[in-house]
Amino acid sequence: MPQLLPVPNPIVSHWLSEPHRLRDFRSTPELPSECDIIIIGSGMAGITTAYFLLHENPNPPNIVLLEARELCTGATGRNGGHSKVLLSTISRVVKDHGPGIATELQTMVQKINDTFKQIINEEKLDCEFELRRSHDVQLETPESEQLKQMYDEGCKAGHEWTKDVSWIGPEHVEQVTSIKGAKSAFSVPACSLWPYKFVSQLLSRLLERHPDHLNFQTNTPVTSVDLQVDTSSVVTTPRGTIKTQKVIFATNAYTSGLLPQFQDIIYPVRGMASHLVPKTPVRPHLSNTYNIDYGSAKGVDYLNPRPDGSIVVGGAKWTFPDRETWYKNSDDSKPFPSEVQSYWDGYMQRVFHGWENSGAFTERVWPGIQGYTPDSWPHVGRVPGTKSQWMLAGFNGGGNTMILKSAETVAKMIREDKEFGDVAREVGVLTLFGTSKERMRKKIEETLPRVDGDISIRVKYTEWDTNTQHVKH
Ligand SMILES: Cc1cc2nc3c(=O)[nH]c(=O)nc-3n(C[C@H](O)[C@H](O)[C@H](O)COP(=O)(O)OP(=O)(O)OC[C@H]3O[C@@H](n4cnc5c(N)ncnc54)[C@H](O)[C@@H]3O)c2cc1C
């Protein structure tokens, strides 16, 4: 099997259509031979980890940031651009872990949205950031009834996660959400942004502020990371090797290409998103973001109205012709078949009241590669079995809502030489994110993601092979 690496020439998403001047930047023509920390990956995870490592640090480490392709051309450069918790995710968490963890999840996401705002303000980043609400809309009665029951029970019991969530019933839901045929909806807190602009401008600030401590190298795929007996690592690329004291894997879907023990534990899932543009902006403006649930036989679309009146919307997984087109598929250089992409043609006219005469057309459609995990949570912390390697990867369909606290956690672990359990509560990251051999031992019988960001799971325990450091198949 060929090594899992980002493929060359990915399709350009709407977000990447305004390339940043750092897109193919290299701080130095040659790679440094040594450094303190190597971060692999220039998506939101890699850049925000660099930020938290360097921020207000009187003794900044020497960091080399390596990116296989151009800056931020992975999932961060191709996603829906909103940050929120789906009610269906809360429902799953309540069922599996109890209402307290659901509240912790919602609190974490709220803190992440606050942190976005704080960094954007402090660093003066121009990335269309907006604090807003989001509608989770149900188009089928069973999903609507199940979620309502869970919400009612939570409200009655006074569970904290219900406090900033409101329900919109069948009588008014079409009027309130503008979605044709809606059965019900929930209103939840959210924020939206242009993720590529956030990442590229933040990197630009870091390079200006720390020219001697941050070295960025695009088009430099890491092909192996070899631990040495003295706990340093040698990182190999086609342009040479670098010796480093510490390595951080911010490689999301591609993590098992360098850490093969994560095969089947973090794996690529190909998604699709699009940019729809009305002939003239429709007024009043859609001010909420959306998740539109078409029922268990189909799935959920996610939709982000942009400030210029255009729409970024993705999902439509049920239109993918076969499993090979998306499951463990990491090719974002090829489009989905035209009959799949045509799902977006006339979408706004079909789905939203008031858009029938908008003339909205499909400006572009693009694929993107998500890193899925069997239990749907990312793996954050020290790479199990190592002393000097860390990871934050496997963000499923919700990296915007999970990365900032994961990055802060990894940076704090490194800066203060602590373990995940020592810092998780203080940072406010969900303890479920902690990576461990025990968690890796849990293996999925069948993982079929129903929707982006939410999967139905059945976990069984399998044996751990101590020789290969892999789950036994
Ligand atoms: C179509 C789509 C829609 C989405 N919508 C949303 C949404 O609306 N809200 C939300 O919260 N989340 C959404 N997501 C998920 C979100 O985009 C991801 O969870 C998040 O961007 C992951 O960030 P990351 O930095 O971990 O990964 P990435 O952005 O993928 O970055 C990883 C980087 O590592 C690099 N890399 C990998 N391997 C190597 C190597 N060996 N050597 C060097 N570099 C390497 C890659 O090239 C890449 O640049 C969506 C994802 C997709 C694909």
Query: What is the per-residue pLDDT across 185-226, written as a single tens digit (0 to 9) for each?
Result: 999 999 999 999 999 999 999 999 999 999 999 999 999 999
Which pLDDT tens digit goes with each residue over 232-266?
999 999 999 999 999 999 999 999 999 999 999 99
Tell me which residues have their CB closer than 6 angstroms to ligand 1.
5-6, 40-46, 66-69, 73-76, 78-83, 221-222, 250-252, 254, 257-258, 271, 273, 302, 314, 368-370, 393, 395, 397-401, 403, 452
User: What is the topology classification, in CATH, of domain 132-191+268-371?
Assistant: D-Amino Acid Oxidase; Chain A, domain 2 (3.30.9)
pLDDT of res. 1: 81
Using alpha carbons, select from 137, 63, 465, 467 the residue that is nearest to residue 302. Answer: 137
Name the residue at shortest CA distance from atom 12 of ligand 1. 398
Residues 169 and 145: their CA atoms lie apart, in Å, by 10
Asked whether 392 and 398 are in contact (CB, 8 A), the reply is no
Distance from Cα 178 to the centre of ligand 1, integer Å:
31
Rounded to whole angstroms, the Cα distance separating 272 from 252 reads: 17
**Nearest atom within ligand 1 for CA of residue 46:** 25
Query: How far does residue 255's CA lie from ligand 1's centre (Å)?
Result: 11
87-134 pLDDT, tens digit per residue, is 999 999 999 999 999 999 999 999 999 999 999 999 999 999 999 999
Asked if residue 287 lies in contact with residue 305, where contact means CB atoms within 8 angstroms, the answer is: yes
Beta strand spans in 278-348 (E): 289-293, 300-305, 311-314
pLDDT band at 444 (very low <50, low <70, confident <90, very high): low
**What percent of the chain is predicted at pLDDT more than 70?**
93
Residue 148 CB-density burial (10 A; 0-12 exposed, 13-18 middle, 19+ buried): middle
Instruction: For residue 220, give the ligand 1 atom closest to its CA.
Output: 43
Q: Hey, what are 108's tokens?
A: 């974490």
Q: Sketch the domain layout of the chain as residue ranges.
A: 15-78+196-267+374-471, 132-191+268-371
Work out the number of other CB atoms within 10 angstroms of the CB of residue 460: 10
Task: Give me ligand 1 centre to Cα 123, in Å.
Answer: 22
Q: State whether residue 345 is helix, strand or coil.
A: coil
Please give the pLDDT value at position 156.
97
Q: How far is the CA of 252 from the centre of ligand 1 (A)?
A: 6
Nearest Cα residue to 380 out of 411, 341, 342, 351:
411
- Residue 443: pLDDT band with limits 50, 70, 90: low
Instruction: Please report which confidence band the pLDDT of residue 447 belongs to, taking 50, 70 and 90 as the band edges.
Output: very low
pLDDT average, residue stretch 268-296: 96
pLDDT tens digits, one per residue of 286-301: 999 999 999 988 999 9
Q: How far is CA 349 from the centre of its chain?
A: 29
443-467 average pLDDT score: 42
- With a cut of 60, say whether residue 464 has pLDDT above it: no
Which of 42, 44, 65, 79 is the best mutation target for the ligand 1 pocket, counting ligand atoms within 8 Å of the beta carbon and taking the most? 79
Length of the chain counted residue by residue: 473
Could you name the CATH architecture of 15-78+196-267+374-471? 3-Layer(bba) Sandwich (3.50)
How far away, in angstroms, is 288 Cα from ligand 1 center? 24
b (16+ CB within 10 A) / e for 152-163: eebeeeebebbe
Whether residue 439 is predicted with pLDDT greater than 50 in this model: the reply is yes
Q: How many CB atoms lie within 10 A of CB 304?
A: 25
Mutate to test the pocket of ligand 1, among 11, 400, 451, 455 (most ligand atoms within 8 A of CB): 400
CA dihedral (158, 159, 165, 167) positive or negative: negative
- Give dist(CA 273, CA 196) in Å, integer: 15
Nearest CA to 82 out of 301, 264, 369, 249 is that of: 301
Output the CA 76–ligand 1 centroid distance in Å: 4
CA of 469 to the centre of ligand 1 (A): 26
Maximum pairwise Cα distance, the chain: 67
pLDDT tens-place string over residues 134-168: 999 999 999 999 999 999 999 999 999 999 999 99
Looking up tokens 């190597």 gives 38
Atom number in ligand 1 closest to CA 72: 49
Smallest CA separation from ligand 1 atom 19, residue: 399
Give the pLDDT of residue 441. Answer: 85
